[in-house]
Amino acid sequence: MHADLILHSGTVLAVDAGFTTHSAVAVRGDRILAVGDDRAIRDLAGPATRVVDLAGGTVLPGLNDSHLHLQWWGLARTAVDLSAAGSLAEARELVRRHAAAQPDGGWVRGRGWHERVLSGDDPLGPTAAMFDDVCGGRPMFLEHFSAHGGLLNSVGLRRAGITAATADPSGGEVVRDPATGEPTGVLKETARQLLDGVLPEPTAAERQQAVVDALAELNRRGVTSVTDPIVTPEMLRDYVALRRGDRLTARLTTLLHWTWPSVQTPLAVLEEAMRYVGSTTGLGDDLLRIGGCKLIADGVAALGTAWMSLPYHHEGTCGALVTEGADDAERVAALHALVRLLHQHRFQVQVHATGDRACDTAVEALVAALTEDPWPDARHVLIHANLPSPTAVAAMAEHGILANVNALVKWQAAGGLVGVIDEDQWHRMMPARSMADAGVVVCDASDAPITDPNWRLALQMLVTRVPRGGTGPCGPAERLTREQAIRAWTAAPAWQDHAEHDKGTVEPGRLADLCVVAEDLMAVPDEDLHAVTPVLTVLGGQVVHEA
């Protein structure tokens, strides 16, 4: 039996149980035919076989970004990116240039700002007035880097009808000037829903093209699988249309969600969804499938909305759960009820939790559901898993609860949390090594468009823990080994997807999803991992990118 494609004379990282290495791999059809040494694999060549000399490069399983908001990232690529702005002046100039290219009356859209950059010494933090004079009379909405908030300018506030009389929605906040009561322009958490019907929406064709373009860029980076963690019914229709049109160039796992842009999912809404959804985890095929459902427990530390046991130094508050309820006890009970309902309907439950109290509460809810109604293959997930206690980590290991962490978010945002949270918490945040050593399956993911989806920089952050602008590691005890870091982007996400028998490793019989980088990945210095060069991406035996 001849191979269709042979890659030889390099290092093939199988990422199997023993993390074995080979020098060549053969592909036939959409599956891996064989791995081994050059001579044995090259003997599988026939007249039509394409044979590629790796020249010392590395083959690894196709990268699996296990938490990437695919459609959002695709659409965000046309907005102004403020993530690299180092000052208010730089951010204003970026917005000015972008606004000048927009039609009169059209919205100025951007994302990626951090309050530390925009607020400077202003105790009010970011305000609408900071951008009024650079938008040319146009309304503006800039999404916070976390996607858990945003900033309107004065025209945007008027368009949305947000005034001093606008009430805070449950689980959200319209930030106000304490002296006047007027809105500053910042919306947090569920307050984003005040923009429903105000911000212009792209057409289905525009949304779908944005996804196709985003997938092409991910292919260029070596990515062959993605989990989109918030997929509304409208988004799922888009993805189904792309699947039917044979336009998906990566495997897409979806987490269903019904209430975005509100971070709060009322129990009544979820009960209604369960009456009509008619599916469970695993429905679909190799290219598009339902992975589970997404719940949101709390916000993010940068906005003071993550639920913490210690108060934020700049606010003196501890945040809260964003679930329904008038107090902590009611909100905890609401989270338990949401988890229980999804679990009973045999959906994998993935829960966003960033604060230490939120992480522990989410784990307790997942464990309670698993204990009351055993489902051995649930593989529920703690998303972000920033600060679970040792007790929670042990419970995760015991009950098969995965952690989906975000090294790129930590790389990007850690500097802005200095002085906001306790120093010990700052170092302990994202305890990847502690969780892995305890037996928890740890996945890492970009959370794009919260970050740029650069798995190479993510590997570097996982093994060094040195954030952007940092002079030393943030929590060096939590560094992963290179093997653990690679698993977090390949084999572990396949396990999260219940697809470990089809992808995530380079073994005979697995889907031929491969990424080739020009360098010997295991020999590149830690601090240079961000610069390795993807040169070939294969999805199901088909080349989807070639440098």
- Mean pLDDT score, 465-469: 92
The answer to whether 389 and 360 are in contact (CB under 8 A) is yes
Edge to edge, the sheet with strand 149-152 lists 80-81, 108-113, 140-144, 149-152, 183-189, 172-176
The residue that leads in pLDDT, 250 or 170, is 250
Q: Is 173 helix (H, G, I), strand (E, B) or coil?
A: strand
- Mean pLDDT score, 302-328: 90
Class of domain 72-195: alpha beta
Q: What are phi and psi of 428, to 5 degrees?
A: -80, -15
pLDDT of residue 322: 96
Q: What are phi and psi of 336, to 5 degrees?
A: -60, -45
pLDDT above 90: percentage of residues in the chain: 80
Q: Diameter of the chain by CA atoms?
A: 79
pLDDT of residue 320: 96
Could you tell me which CATH number the domain at 1-62+504-547 has?
2.30.40.10
Q: Is 140 helix (H, G, I), strand (E, B) or coil?
A: strand
Mean pLDDT in the chain? 94
- Mean pLDDT score, 414-440: 92
pLDDT above 70: percentage of residues in the chain: 99
Closest CA relative to residue 261, chosen from 489, 10, 40, 69: 69
What is the separation of C-alpha 425 from the centre of its chain, rounded to a whole number of angstroms?
22
| C-beta atoms surrounding 217 within 10 Å | 14
- State the pTM of this model: 0.89
pLDDT of residue 120: 64
- Mean pLDDT score, 184-213: 91
- Mean pLDDT score, 69-87: 89
How distant, in Å, are the alpha carbons of 66, 419, 440 from that of 403?
A: 11, 26, 7
The residue that leads in pLDDT, 99 or 404, is 404
pLDDT of residue 207: 96
| 349-353 and 288-296 strand pairing | parallel
Shared fold status for 1-62+504-547 and 72-195: no
Confidence of residue 82 (pLDDT cuts 50, 70, 90): confident
Q: Hey, what amino acid is at 85?
A: A
Res 314 pLDDT > 90: no
Distance from C-alpha of 447 to C-alpha of 457, rounded to nearest angstrom = 13
Confidence of residue 470 (pLDDT cuts 50, 70, 90): confident
Alpha helices in 65-199 (DSSP H): 70-76, 88-100, 115-119, 129-132, 154-160
pLDDT tens by residue, 148-172: 889 999 999 999 899 999 999 888 8
pLDDT tens by residue, 490-536: 999 999 999 999 999 999 999 999 999 999 999 999 999 999 999 99
- Mean pLDDT score, 432-459: 97
Domain boundaries, the chain: 1-62+504-547, 72-195
| 223-231 and 183-189 strand pairing | unpaired
Segment among 80-89, 337-346, 359-368 with least mean pLDDT? 80-89
3-state secondary structure 7-67: EECCEEECCCCCCCEECEEEEECCEEEEEECHHHHHCCCCCCCEEEECCCCEEEECEEECC
pLDDT of residue 121: 62
Q: What are phi and psi of 146, to 5 degrees?
A: -85, -15
The answer to whether 517 and 222 are in contact (CB under 8 A) is yes
